[in-house]
């Protein structure tokens, strides 16, 4: 079946990646409660997103993608998250794993990522696995957390420390070799149902484990030689940075949806202690204005820093550690600002926002969970502050 025809059927008027995301928004939004209850995305919705090529938005058109630059890619994630935070998060995860797939030889990449209608992987870059070298590959044992999208992905993956027998395999600088192993088909691994959480419930970010599983060498790549094979400006940016950008844009989308929902509510709600509509109260007007400022300033800093880094990547110039520190600052600030704006608006909505019948209740939980990701936590300000002061960063993310 032709991808182009399916995209046309899905979103007939859409001509740009952002327009495609906007056209899918209403159908994603109307299934938000279902996504929340099932703790995963409906299979047919995943297929619709895949057929619209949104998972492949950042891949070149020659590879079946939409050829978007980093800014457009982030706008797409933000727009999908505006419809549903969990869907936006899963989209960000899928986009990043397809970008990572460029590490593989073309035939391996085709098998794992392009022989399936969805063609994405889910897993963790935290080296909680052990890979013992054997002829032709590795025997892998490990247990990984936070495999967002594992219920609809076609492959799973996990980072592993490499051993030759009982001896750690060391790199020239003395660090232990770390390889990311891909488990395909994903039935060779086990998904452990652990995702019982407050927010972003629909991401299905369960645990993944394997025991003494043979993984061929060609289905692994070195996490420390991440940019050995890839080409193109998208892959000149560090993988951690790209992932963090995508995830913080989920918070931006959720915050925008929060303000949208509140504006609707304010047209009709008369608070119990008042005789006027919410929208006519001066305090409410001031809170909405303040929330707008907080959200949009955090967003503006993020896209300003990302835009500058993208220009560096396009020009094939090396991205500096100061640029990476600025991006860490911007993505943390964007996620934290988005959560602040979301909570401010929910508080202004009064008791309406505590009922599960209101989308505001879910937005508050989703926004908070975004800020708990290790790349978006408040503590990242410390690592960035150290680099500004001329000290070494104490963060493993740099």
pLDDT at 232: 72
> Does a structural domain hold residue 186?
yes
Span 25-39, mean pLDDT? 96
Quick one: 105 and 125 in the same domain?
no
> Does a structural domain hold residue 398?
no
Quick one: 265 and 383 in the same domain?
yes
**pLDDT tens profile 235-259:** 788 888 889 999 999 999 999 999 9
pTM, rounded to two decimals: 0.93
pLDDT at 184: 96
Instruction: Quote the CA–CA distance of 67 and 153 in Å, as a whole number.
Output: 22
pLDDT at 397: 61
Quick one: 163 and 280 in the same domain?
no
Per-residue confidence at 12, pLDDT binned at 50, 70, 90? very low
**pLDDT tens profile 262-310:** 999 998 888 777 778 888 888 999 999 999 999 999 999 999 999 999 9
Domain boundary residue, one of 222, 247, 275: 222
Q: What total of structural domains would you count in the chain?
A: 3
Q: Is the pLDDT at 5 greater than 50, yes or no?
A: no
Identify the CATH number of the domain in which residue 307 sits. Answer: 1.20.140.10
Percent of the chain clearing pLDDT 70 (strictly above): 93
> Does a structural domain hold residue 228?
no
Structure tokens at 321: 């550690």
Span 97-114, mean pLDDT? 91
Quick one: 127 and 253 in the same domain?
no
Question: CA nearest 8: which of 58, 56, 57, 48?
Answer: 48
pLDDT at 7: 41
Q: Is the pLDDT at 1 greater than 90, yes or no?
A: no
Mode of pairing for the β-strands spanning 137-147 and 121-134: antiparallel
Identify the CATH number of the domain in which residue 157 sits. Answer: 2.40.110.10
**DSSP character string of 231-270:** -SGGGGS-HHHHHHHHHHHHHHHHHHHHHHHHHHHHTT--
Quick one: 86 and 23 in the same domain?
yes
The neighbour count for residue 15, using CB atoms within 10 Å, is 8
pLDDT at 8: 40
pLDDT at 9: 46
> Does a structural domain hold residue 227?
no
Identify the CATH number of the domain in which residue 21 sits. Answer: 1.10.540.10
Quick one: 217 and 256 in the same domain?
no
Domain boundary residue, one of 113, 140, 158: 113
Domain that holds residue 98: 3-113
Quick one: 207 and 244 in the same domain?
no
pLDDT at 238: 82
> Does a structural domain hold residue 173?
yes
Quick one: 341 and 243 in the same domain?
yes
Per-residue confidence at 170, pLDDT binned at 50, 70, 90? very high
Percent of the chain clearing pLDDT 90 (strictly above): 73
For CA atoms 212, 117, 235, 396, give the dihedral sign. Answer: negative
Per-residue confidence at 210, pLDDT binned at 50, 70, 90? very high
């Amino acid at each position: 079946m032709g991808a182009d025809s399916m995209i046309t059927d899905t979103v007939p008027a859409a001509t740009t990646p952002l327009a495609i995301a906007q056209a899918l928004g209403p159908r994603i939004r109307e299934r938000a409660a279902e996504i929340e209850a099932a703790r995963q995305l409906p299979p047919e919705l995943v297929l619709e997103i895949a057929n619209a090529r949104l998972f492949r938005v950042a891949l070149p058109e020659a590879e079946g993608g939409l050829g978007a630059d980093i800014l457009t890619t982030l706008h797409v994630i933000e727009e999908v998250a505006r419809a549903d935070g969990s869907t936006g998060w899963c989209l960000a995860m899928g986009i990043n794993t397809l970008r990572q797939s460029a590490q593989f030889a073309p035939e391996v990449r085709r098998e794992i990522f392009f022989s399936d209608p969805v063609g994405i992987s889910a897993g963790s870059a935290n080296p909680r696995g052990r890979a013992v070298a054997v002829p032709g590959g590795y025997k892998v044992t490990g247990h990984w957390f936070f495999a967002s999208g594992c219920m609809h992905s076609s492959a799973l993956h996990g980072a592993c420390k490499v051993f030759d027998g009982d001896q750690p395999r060391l790199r020239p600088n003395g660090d232990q070799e770390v390889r990311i192993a891909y488990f395909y088909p994903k039935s060779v691994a086990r998904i452990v149902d652990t995702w019982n959480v407050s927010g972003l419930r629909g991401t299905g970010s369960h645990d993944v484990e394997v025991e003494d599983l043979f993984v061929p060498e060609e289905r692994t790549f070195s996490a420390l030689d991440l940019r050995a094979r890839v080409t193109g400006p998208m892959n000149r940016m560090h993988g951690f940075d790209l992932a963090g950008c995508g995830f913080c844009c989920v918070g931006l989308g959720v915050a925008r949806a929060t303000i949208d929902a509140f504006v609707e509510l304010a047209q009709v709600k008369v608070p119990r202690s008042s005789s006027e509509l919410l929208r006519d109260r001066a305090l409410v007007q001031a809170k909405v204005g303040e929330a707008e400022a907080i959200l949009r300033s955090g967003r503006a800093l993020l896209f300003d820093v990302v835009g500058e880094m993208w220009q560096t990547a396009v020009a094939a110039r090396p991205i500096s550690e100061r640029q990476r520190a600025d991006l860490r600052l911007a993505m943390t600030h964007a996620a934290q600002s988005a959560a602040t704006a979301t909570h401010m608006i929910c508080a202004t909505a009064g008791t309406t926002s505590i009922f599960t019948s209101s989308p505001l209740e879910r937005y508050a939980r989703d926004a908070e969970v975004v800020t708990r990701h290790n790349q978006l936590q408040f503590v990242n300000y410390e690592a960035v502050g150290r680099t500004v002061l001329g000290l070494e960063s104490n963060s493993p993310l740099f």
